[in-house]
């Protein structure tokens, strides 16, 4: 195997390219101490340590209507600035070559081979793509209908619904793609009133539903079922659509006929809910045998990120994966937060303060992080003791030297084995730069519970690289 290091969107990671090996070949660490996958034939899709086939999909970074009211007026020039992650593009192409080489474009049956069952019909796939940076959350391209039409949707773990504008939508704004046109899809079906889902109601023999958000934006839609699958390169929609079509599921989504507020002005066409709800994409892929599990992972960084369905890719991780149990089996992804530290100082706050009400939600659809107001005093004091300035969500001026000394905000949890872990938010994740000033994007004004937003999930790309984002405490 050839092992080396490269940079993905500025994040240095290890990679391994393997040649066919005997089945007994064991996983080991490379010379730099980075874990290597068990050797795996290079022509097959990438797998994790358990042999699960990993499926990669592109994410794109853009403002999000749901939480845009919380940004405090970002510089739109930053929104328009797109930084291409060229090495991610190269990696995407390499995965596509490995997946489709030598078989005329068909997907190889790695799942059936792993299970020892030639009749297994789970269709594995793999794809990666270059990503671009905006403000707020990340979005992914999906393909809908027959023939496929490309749509961009925000990946939102805090939402149950997938919806985007359809042809005829009035005042729906201009986004990345033309409005989806169901009339051009031979597989499109309008959901009849006897089959309405997700609290939809019957209007003119169609199922209508809607969603409103706290900052005032909303949408209305009718329920449609059509072929839908994620993934693909941004600039080459047709080849990407052809490559990933074996992941297609019959999926119910909202065909929007009305948008208000920030949904009209956001970059992405629509939104894709990824909550723990049976109607979201990942459970539907499993129920329709396009994937063997309901596992997915999101990697966020400046410059873009990666969505993986079927597991997590060790090649893009700077530290081993750590599993934290959720406190609910459905709905939002809710976790138990033990404590918060600022610059290594543990705040004297009872864990019941964090976990009251709705609990602590991991929400990729909310741009920023919100902590309970009952801890505000402790948080602001710890910040001032380190920084020498009052904490507030207003513009601050720091020299490069001062910025480098800003504290890390750490969140402590227990993993599935009961071990204590901390996840660090570095300054480049929670401080948003606006011209020559910075605005803190951790708020301490939530009524009950907490929301760990997209910036909590973001990997630091500071130079030199900081310590691991996640670490286990002894």
* 104 has a pLDDT exceeding 50: no
pLDDT of 41 above 80: no
The per-residue DSSP string of 255-289 comes to: EEEEEEGGGTT-SSSEEEE-SB-TTSHHHHHHHTT
pLDDT at 136: 64
For 129-133, 187-191, 220-224, 269-273, which range has the lowest pLDDT when averaged over its residues? 129-133
Judged against a pLDDT cut of 80, whether residue 275 lies above it is answered with: yes
First-last CA distance in the chain: 34
Burial of 224 (0-12, 13-18, 19+ CB in 10 A): buried
35-39, 76-80, 265-269, range with the lowest pLDDT = 76-80
**Highest-scoring range by mean pLDDT, 263-277, 299-313, 454-468:** 263-277
pLDDT for position 458 = 87
Exposure string for 129-150, b = 16+ CB within 10 A, e = fewer: bbbbbbbbbbbbbbbbbeebbb
pLDDT at position 263 is 86
* Cβ–Cβ < 8 Å for 105, 243: yes
Percent of the chain with pLDDT over 70: 67
59 near 298, Cβ under 8 Å?
yes
H-run or E-run covering 412 = strand 409-414
CA angle 373, 453, 54 (to 5 degrees): 150
Query: Whole-angstrom Cα distance, residue 281 to residue 283?
Result: 6
Per-residue pLDDT band at 293 (split at 50, 70, 90) = confident
Has this prediction a pTM greater than 0.95?
no
* Residue 121, pLDDT above cutoff 50: no
Give the residue carrying structure tokens 């749901």: 66
Residue 428 to residue 407: CA distance in whole angstroms: 11
Q: Calculate the average pLDDT of the chain.
A: 75
For the segment 87-110, the average pLDDT, to the nearest whole number, is 32
Give the pLDDT of residue 274: 93
What is the tens place of the pLDDT at every residue in 384-406? Answer: 999 999 999 999 999 999 999 99
pLDDT at 261: 86
pLDDT at 236 (0 to 100): 47
């Amino acid at each position: 195997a050839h092992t080396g290091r490269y940079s993905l969107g500025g994040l240095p990671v290890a990679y391994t390219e393997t040649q066919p090996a005997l089945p007994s070949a064991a996983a080991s660490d490379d010379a730099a101490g980075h874990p290597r996958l068990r050797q795996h034939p290079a022509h097959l899709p990438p797998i994790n340590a358990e042999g699960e086939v990993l499926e990669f999909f592109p994410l794109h970074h853009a403002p999000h209507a749901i939480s845009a009211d919380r940004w405090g007026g970002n510089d739109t020039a930053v929104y328009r600035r797109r930084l291409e992650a060229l090495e991610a593009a190269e990696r995407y192409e390499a995965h596509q070559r490995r997946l489709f080489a030598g078989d005329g474009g068909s997907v190889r049956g790695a799942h059936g081979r792993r299970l020892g069952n030639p009749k297994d019909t789970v269709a594995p796939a793999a794809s990666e793509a270059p990503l671009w940076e905006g403000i707020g959350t990340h979005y992914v391209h999906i393909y809908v209908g027959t023939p496929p039409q490309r749509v961009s949707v925000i990946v939102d773990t805090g939402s149950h619904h997938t919806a985007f504008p359809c042809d005829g939508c009035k005042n729906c704004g201009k986004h990345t793609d033309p409005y989806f046109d169901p009339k051009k899809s031979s597989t499109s079906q309008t959901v009849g009133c006897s089959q309405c889902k997700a609290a939809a109601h019957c209007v003119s023999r169609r199922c209508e539903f809607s969603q409103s958000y706290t900052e005032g934006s909303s949408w209305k839609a009718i329920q449609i079922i059509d072929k839908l699958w994620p993934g693909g390169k941004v600039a080459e929609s047709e080849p990407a659509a052809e490559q990933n079509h074996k992941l297609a599921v019959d999926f119910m989504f909202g065909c929007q006929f009305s948008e208000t507020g920030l949904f009209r002005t956001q970059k992405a066409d629509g939104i894709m809910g990824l909550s723990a709800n049976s109607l979201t994409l990942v459970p539907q892929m499993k129920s329709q045998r396009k994937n063997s599990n309901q596992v997915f992972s999101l990697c966020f960084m400046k410059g873009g990120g990666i969505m993986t369905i079927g597991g997590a890719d060790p090649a893009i991780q700077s530290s081993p994966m750590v599993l934290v149990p959720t406190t609910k089996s459905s709905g939002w992804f809710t976790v138990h937060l033990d404590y918060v530290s600022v610059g290594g100082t543990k705040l004297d706050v009872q864990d019941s303060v964090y976990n009251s009400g709705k609990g602590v939600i991991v929400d990729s659809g909310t741009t920023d992080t919100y902590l309970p107001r009952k801890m505000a005093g402790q948080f602001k004091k710890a910040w001032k003791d380190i920084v020498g300035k009052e904490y507030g969500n207003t513009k601050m001026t720091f020299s490069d030297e001062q910025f480098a000394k800003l504290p890390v905000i750490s969140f402590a949890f227990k993993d599935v084995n009961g071990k204590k872990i901390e996840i660090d938010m570095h300054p480049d994740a929670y401080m948003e730069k606006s011209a020559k000033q910075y605005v803190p994007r951790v708020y301490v004004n939530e009524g009950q519970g907490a929301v760990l937003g997209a910036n909590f999930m973001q990997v630091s790309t500071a130079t030199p690289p900081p310590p691991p984002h996640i670490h286990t405490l002894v």
